[in-house]
Amino acid sequence: MNLSSVTQAWGIKVGDRWLVRIGRRRRVLTAWSLAGATLFRDPAECSAAMRRVADRTKRSLAYVRIEATHVLPRARSEAEAPK
């Protein structure tokens, strides 16, 4: 495995589920799987989000570091495509 191709991200586990976002009316929205979770590339951003979630829920929270070895490039929209 080429270590330069490993990408690290952080997620927030809320109970048995994963944080998606804080919705309207200050609800904590969660996903069943990691595929629907919001992932943070900056640990400082993740800790700020965790503080906001901790104020709104009584469920257990945990930082989880995720290492991805294959990251697909983001699809470009027609507006972003080079001309």
b (16+ CB within 10 A) / e for 35-63: eebbbbeeeeebeebbeebeeebeeebee
Which pTM value belongs to this model? 0.67
Return the pLDDT at 3: 47
Tokens of 10: 């952080």
**pLDDT at residue 21 tops 80:** yes
Mean pLDDT on 46-69: 83
- Kindly indicate the confidence band of residue 37, based on its pLDDT and cuts at 50, 70 and 90: confident
pLDDT at 78 over 80: no
Q: Which residue shows structure tokens 């080429």?
A: 2
Q: Give the chain's radius of gyration (CA, Å).
A: 15
